[in-house]
Amino acid sequence: MIFYEDFIKKIEEAQYEELQLEEIENFGLEKTKKMGGYGIAIPLMLIAAYEIFVAIFMKQYYLILIALVLFYFGLRQCRNMWAYKVVVNTKEKHFFFQKLDLDLHKVEKIQLREAKIGKKVTVVLDFITIEKKQVIIPMYMTNQLRLVRVLQNLVGSKFSIKK
């Protein structure tokens, strides 16, 4: 992730460029996050396979339970990485993120800002709906600049950038 100030400068520079909207815009997980996720998932599954191998040859079958738990966590980590997707339907003005479905007509305000998530400060999208429901989505996706531009184009003056 680039620094927040540089990201804002890129957004301001790109505002004057023509933006061609597709009917459905897809944004996947950033490559560095994928590498980190696979760096956790693959070793967990390899350790589980080794545990099963040892359990069978040493006839210590209780190790298979430990291996199954490790394998489950490895598969779950892979599923989380594959499921991370942001989809913006520009025709119907819908924002989809995993199980979240936001109608952009019912959004009162969208703010791009920095927020502390865990131990890191990262860029987030802060959605506030008409029902005063707040949804904060970290910007871990690829092509973040395009996502911001698409949202700016769709909601217009409801979109703001906190500097």
Which residues on neighbouring strands pair with residue 51, listed in sequence order?
A: none
pLDDT digits (tens, 9 = 90+) for 27-53: 999 898 899 999 999 999 999 999 999
Q: What is the mean pLDDT of the chain?
A: 89
What's the whole-number mean pLDDT along residues 140-153? 88
Q: Are 6 and 49 in contact (CB under 8 A)?
A: no
Where are the alpha helices (H) located in 17-143, listed in sequence order?
Answer: 31-58, 62-83
The burial class, CB within 10 Å (0-12 / 13-18 / 19+), for 143 is middle
| Among the ranges given (1-15, 44-58, 106-120, 145-159), the one the predictor scored with the smallest mean pLDDT | 1-15
pLDDT digits (tens, 9 = 90+) for 45-94: 999 999 999 999 998 888 899 999 999 999 999 998 988 899 999 899 89
Look at residue 67 in the predicted model and tell me its pLDDT: 94
What's the whole-number mean pLDDT along residues 93-117? 89
Q: Domain-by-domain residue ranges, the chain? A: 4-27+86-161, 33-82
CATH of domain 4-27+86-161: 2.30.29
Answer yes or no: is pLDDT of 160 > 90. Answer: no
Phi, psi of 92 (to 5 degrees): -100, 0
Look at residue 2 in the predicted model and tell me its pLDDT: 60
DSSP state of 158: G
Q: Are 51 and 116 in contact (CB under 8 A)?
A: no
d(CA 134, CA 34): 27
pTM equals: 0.80
pLDDT digits (tens, 9 = 90+) for 118-145: 888 888 999 999 999 999 998 888 888 8
- Within 8 A by CB and 6+ apart from 152, the residues are 15, 159
